Amino acid sequence: MKIAMTSDNHFDVNRLDVTETLKQQAEFLANQNVSLYLIAGDLFNDFEKSLTYVQNLQNELGAQTVVKFIAGNHDMVHGVTFEELESNIGTGYLHNQYLDLPGTDWRIIGNNGWYDYSFATNVKGKTVDNFATWKRAYWIDGVIQQPMSDAERMALVLDETTQQLKSAQKARKHVLYFTHFVPRQDYIRYAPQGNLWNMANAYMGSPKLGKLLENYKVARVLFGHMHIYPQAQLFEQTTYYNQSVGYHTKRINEWQKDNFMAEWRSRLAFLVV
């Protein structure tokens, strides 16, 4: 089976013609004989639009290619509640669920992920309350409603992931785990002391997730959130992928190609299992 992986397409921020782009993506995936297409979050700033896109792409591709996604923080901004995010809200959504690949010993496990401020290691003198207040004032996640603290939400992610990994271990499955938020400090960018970006690092993810995945010897991990362009990298026995497409706007241009489809194609990672 051939797997294609992406994240952070940001259709609305990039002002794309979604109908036309979807057709072009479907045609490319079909021509590449992709059996499974994984999206690690941030399609739209609205979960309903993200879910509709995934379902429409699945309809366009038919039975040849299965499409699965988890929600990034942008997807959570509108159109969904915390309770809905934790449920089986629609076809294609794989948070806290798994997919066994037929004819293989591979299992795909999805989890949206979250953060616990632990990546903001070089911001001195800030308390948990300071980080929570800064998020509400300056970070897009400030409008996301949740019935718990960020640390509690990250603990939930770790508990859900532990249960999924125990189940996969019992079933003797190789695991490809995909999430939105960053699982290792190696990917975090630190600026000179006082730079606002160092505050934003609090909302990137948690190293606790990476440690958990490596303790269970997870084979492959896909994540997004940070619009960076690293090569696949092996830590312990776990290979990590970040396949973010990122932004191309008047203010921010992160693309290395001239148009979205070229950038998307160049950022896809393929696995054969």
Q: What is the pLDDT of residues 87-106, one digit of tens each?
A: 999 999 999 999 999 999 99
- pLDDT at residue 257, as a whole number: 97
* Arithmetic mean of pLDDT, 161-168: 98
- pLDDT at residue 173, as a whole number: 98
- pLDDT at residue 195, as a whole number: 76
* Arithmetic mean of pLDDT, 250-257: 94
Q: What is the pLDDT of residues 53-83, one digit of tens each?
A: 999 999 999 999 999 999 999 999 999 999 9
Counted domains in the chain: 1
Which one is predicted more confidently, 196 or 7?
Answer: 7
Task: Give the other-Cβ count within 10 Å of 138's Cβ.
Answer: 12
Q: Which residue has the tokens 């706007």?
A: 249
Residue 194 has pLDDT above 80, yes or no: no
- pLDDT at residue 193, as a whole number: 66
CB burial of residue 151 (10 Å; 0-12, 13-18, 19+) = middle
* Arithmetic mean of pLDDT, 153-179: 98
Residue 85 has pLDDT above 90, yes or no: yes
The token pair that represents 87 in the structure block:
């449920």
Strand (E) or helix (H) holding 100 = strand 97-100
Q: How far apart are CA 71 and CA 50, in angstroms?
A: 8
Q: How confident is the model at residue 129 (pLDDT cuts 50, 70, 90)?
A: very high
Tell me what percent of the chain is helix, strand and coil, each rounded to the nearest 5: 35, 20, 45
Does the pTM exceed 0.95? yes
Q: Quote the mean pLDDT of the chain.
A: 96
Which residue range(s) make up the domain with 159?
Answer: 2-272
Which amino acid type is present at position 159?
Answer: D
Detail the DSSP E strand segments found in 142-255: 174-178, 220-223, 233-235, 238-242
CATH assignment at residue 157: 3.60.21.10
- pLDDT at residue 249, as a whole number: 94
pLDDT-above-70 percentage for the chain: 99
